[in-house]
Structure 1
Amino acid sequence: MTIYFYTVREQYGCFSNFSPHGFELDELYWPTSEHYFQAQKFVGTLHVEQIRLVKNPKEAARMGRERSRPLRQDWEQVKDDIMRKAVLRKFETHADIKEILFSTGNEEIIENSPIDFYWGCGSDGSGKNMLGIILMEVREILRSI
């Protein structure tokens, strides 16, 4: 069986970066992993705090995609590690969702995003599913602790 997730309201909605599971990382509190991830695109600038403080993850995502902001030059090289760091901290922080992650056993986890061919599987299933891969890696890391 394959585990699919996409929106927060679904069975595995806690796997979404929009899920309301905040955590502390880099000595700051982040309302969602989406807030953290988007803010890291602008590390060392005022944009980090602007994104951290917005009300919801949808707004954080919108701000992170605005190309009027100065995207860090090494973003393509570091984005996977930043996502892994955020997702790991989220599941370390919340025992309830860690148990949901463990309940998936060794099943494949896929972000069933019709629009995202990098983090999700894309509309035709040909996407890289990097968020799903990171969730499976985090599941292994947390099992070994």
Structure 2
Amino acid sequence: MESRKFWFFCDDDLLSQWIIAPFQVQISPTEIITFNCSEQYMMYRKAKLFGDDETAKQILQTTDPVQQKELGRKAKGFNAELWDSNKEKIVYEGNYYKFSQNHELREKLFRLGNVEFVETNPDDSIWGIGLSDNDERIHDKSQWKGLNLLGKILTQVRDDLLLLIERQR
């Protein structure tokens, strides 16, 4: 039996990389950085991965996810192979921090139930499924035009947080 799906694609959706939900990350033994959203974390880590400290600094200086994304796309020293081998881990971490440190968002995530998250971004065949939510093909995985990496990561984050809470009881 196929799992139930929860379709999402909206900048202010709790599952969005762009929703403002501050969280802190200890970057080094002496440095803690507050990120305003998962997109900022992702793009900061992307720039740092390629050794582009100047762009990483600029990403931290803006609270606008659109600007953060634009800056991240311009990171100097981009290496597709290096990015491909790290991007899922980075996005997982950013979302894990977001939901583990924002109680209200975490509770909303849990209330969605045991569903598979699916990003219905018609313009994104990597993080989404490459189809919009009003396209009938979304109901047939074999017709998806994308990988749904963000949906898979969010599903894993939810499952991992539920497991952590269960173990703490």
Normalised to the residue count of structure 2, the TM-score between the two structures is 0.78
Return structure 1 stretches of 4+ with deviation > 4 angstroms: none
The superposition leaves residues 98-141 of structure 1 with CA deviations (integer Å, 9 ceiling, x where unpaired) of 01111122111111111110101113632110101001100111
Output the CA distance in 1 between the equivalents of 2:105 and 2:97: 12
The one-letter code of the counterpart of 1:4 is W
Output the CA distance in 2 between the equivalents of 1:118 and 1:8: 17
Give the secondary structure class of the aligned counterpart of 1:105.
coil
Matched residue, 2:111: 103
Give the secondary structure class of the aligned counterpart of 1:28.
strand
Q: CA RMSD in A?
A: 1.6
The one-letter code of the counterpart of 2:109 is L
Matched residue, 1:17: 17
Matched residue, 2:33: 28
Matched residue, 1:141: 160
Match of 1:128 among 147, 150, 157: 147
Output the CA distance in 1 between the equivalents of 2:55 and 2:23: 19
Give the secondary structure class of the aligned counterpart of 1:8.
coil
Matched residue, 2:126: 118
Residue 76 (structure 1) aligned with residue 109 (structure 2) = no
Give the secondary structure class of the aligned counterpart of 1:3.
strand
The one-letter code of the counterpart of 1:139 is R
- Structure 1 position 70, deviation (Å): 2.3
Output the CA distance in 2 between the equivalents of 1:143 and 1:136: 11
Normalised to the residue count of structure 1, the TM-score between the two structures is 0.90
Question: For structure 2, which runs of at least 5 residues remain unmatched after alignment?
Answer: 132-136, 138-143, 165-169
Give the % identical residues.
Answer: 28
Question: For structure 1, which runs of at least 5 residues remain unmatched after alignment?
Answer: none
Residue range with higher mean Cα deviation, 22-31 or 130-139: 22-31
- Structure 1 position 66, deviation (Å): 2.1
Aligned pair count reads 141
The one-letter code of the counterpart of 2:20 is P
Output the CA distance in 2 between the equivalents of 1:42 and 1:55: 16
